[in-house]
Chain A
Amino acid sequence: MKYKSYGKIPTRKGFGEGLVELGEQNPNIVVLGGDITSSVLTSFFRDKFPDRFFSIGIAEQNATTIAVGLALSGKIPFFSSYSAFSAFRNADQLRISVAYNNANVKIGGGHSGVTVGPDGATHQSLEEVAFLRTLPNMTLIVPADYNETKKATIASGNMFGPTFIRFGRSAGESFTTPESEFIIGKANQLTDGNDVAIFACGTLVWEALLAAEELEKQKGIKARVINLHTIKPIDYEAIVNAAKECGAIVTAEEHQIHGGMGSAVAEVVVKNYPVPMEFIGIQDRFGLSGEPEELMQYFNLNHQTIFASALRAIERRDKGFDKIRKVIDFNK
């Protein structure tokens, strides 16, 4: 395979380090703490720039709107908590005060998805992509690994407008390099192929690469793996080209299938060039306690599922929708 893992590094480390780099470049960068600074690693910034760090306590609604006040005073505030609390507890604030104001507020959603592990369902946010991508003015990024999270953090600080970056707690495979290109809104095609397209984001990108390798080895199928790190604004061109050139699409994400990245891709596909699609994600249920690796397997968020779904998407393309099943059950 063209890509190799440089080891397991938590994406949140990229967020923490990205903030420090931003802080060095721009004195307007300000960080707000929500009592879990050493979990989401805003502690790096706090220790380096104590004068530009404000502890707000366990008060996500207040922190979000205080950030708006800072943004409307010309600052570039970052607030981060667990995604479960920095996307939902403050949902109204995000909608009205952040997005409607088009305030230059940056939110980090750490500890997202089932890879939070034993904390269980309450802390495993699996719905925020669905909510955030419906907010006008919002930019939504789900980086794939440590380096990409760092780049996304820096890029978001250098652009104007509300931005949400979703990242995780556990150490995932790190495979992008400090040099590889990252542009907000531009999908990264990782492998070439015209047999099937696999769109993935976050923890599932590495799994998609593993699946593509197996598809080629076992079946001679060349899969086009696309890292769709920016979910909003979405890369229309990459999606339409994939639909036209591959004719079959699989999406994979550590998120509910309803309303997530897969749904965003489907909106583009259906409008422009309908082709069969398979959706990998959490199937309309809440998470549960367990070890991160264990849960990824339990919920079928792995390369084996991507492999099988790719074969099914290809079969549906080649035999036609009706020949396979009369009604395609979205959930099965």
Chain B
Amino acid sequence: MSFNISFPDTTFENKQRSIEEFFEISLELRRDIIKSLFLAKSGHSGGSLGTADIFAVLFFGGFLNYDPKNWKNPNRDRFILSVGHIAPILYATLARAGFFHPSELATLRKLGSRLQGHPGLDANLPGIETSSGSLGQGVSIAVGMALSQKYLDKTDNFTFTMTGDGELEEGSVWEAAMAASNYKLSNFCWIVDNNDCQIDGRVTDVMNIYPLQEKFEAFGFDVVTIDGHNYSEIISAFTKFKNNSKNSEKPTCIIAKTYMGRGISFMEDKYSWHGVPPNEEQAIKALEELDKLDAELKKSNKLN
């Protein structure tokens, strides 16, 4: 059996949306992840799928200020993917936001591609703010950008970053946390993809990082713990951050409880999917599952 893979050129605007619309966008992002990773024959399915709902809200719900046509605009908000190996979700998101043509997703991880296995600034892909892939570094880069926005450029922009939860085992991550609250970076929003999975197993078993909420609070953050697949909770977390940034001097941390591989039955909550792509049979099955969810959504008549 062989099947044709194509990437429709749908793009989505960045605006206030209904729950159903976010769900539809997240399905498209998940399809892109499955397709691009299948074609790449290597790469990280688990974390990419698990964070698709957060990416859908952050990039397409009016929370992140960007302009794909003029993406280097100095007055943009920044998003730094510290957990660089889940690049497939960032690439899918940027493509669907119009930073580059979605067909380029087919080149992921291939020789000469702008879609490097881990984001590479030298590959000149629009929307990529920094190289990342050595865990623990992106979050400090993000602190540097927030510092620049708040004290040097004196703009009203925000910096968002996403780290993994295994990534929190890197000590420098906590140096970043300390600096963010020391400098009262209320324009700084740190999302933790708390799937409790990393390469060797459950985060708890590899190196216990908990309790997280209390740790970030002790480091001087406003902390919200949410279900990272519940759009209402994601929306209210980002809304709270925006409010906090006006009323509080604290940086914000969103601990998003997620499932690795979310959306695909045979991948869900399995750490073995951290760093492998679907094979052909698995890709077909995964796309079928996503299509089924899509059909149910359309049948519910809640989309306009």
Contact = CB atoms under 8 A, between A and B. Distances in A.
Contacts of A286: 120, 122
A56 B120 contact: no
Contacts of A58: 135-136, 166-167, 169-170, 198, 206-207
Contacts of B133: 119-120, 122-123
A149 B57 CA distance: 48
Interface stretch (A20-28, A31-39, A233-241, A323-331): A31-39
Which size bracket describes the interface of B in this complex? 20 to 34
B84 interface: yes
B225 interface: no
Contact of B118 (A37, A62, A122, A295): A122
Nearest to A37: B200
A117 B42 contact: yes
Contacts, number: 97
Interface in B126-176: 131-136, 166-167, 169-171
Interface string B81-99: 0001000000000000000
Question: Quick one: which of A37, A120, A121 has the most chain B CB within 10 A?
Answer: A120
Given A57-B207, A59-B169, A118 B200 contact: no
B26 to A, nearest CB: 26
A85 B116 contact: no
Which size bracket describes the interface of A in this complex? 20 to 34
A291 B40 CA distance: 10
B117 interface: yes
A305 to B, nearest CB: 18
B206 A120 contact: no
A120 B207 contact: no
B134 A121 contact: no
Contact of B117 (A85, A123, A294): A123
B109 interface: yes
Nearest to A39: B199
Interface string B198-224: 111000011100000000000000000
A56 B109 contact: no
A277 interface: no
Interface string A248-291: 00000000000000000000000000000000000000101111
Interface in A61-86: 61-62, 84-85
Nearest to A297: B111
Given A35-B206, A62-B171, A55 B110 contact: no
A288 B111 contact: yes
A85 B134 contact: yes
B113 interface: yes
B264 to A, nearest CB: 21
Contacts of A6: none
A186 B199 CA distance: 37
- Nearest 3 pairs of A and B residues by beta carbon: A57-B207, A122-B133, A290-B111
14 contacts: A33-B200, A35-B169, A35-B199, A35-B200, A57-B207, A61-B171, A89-B134, A118-B110, A119-B117, A121-B120, A123-B118, A123-B133, A286-B122, A288-B123
Interface of A: 33, 35-39, 55-59, 61-62, 84-85, 89, 117-123, 286, 288-291, 294-295, 298
Given A118-B43, A288-B116, A289-B115, 11 more contacts: A35-B198, A36-B200, A58-B135, A58-B169, A120-B116, A122-B132, A122-B133, A122-B134, A123-B117, A286-B122, A289-B111
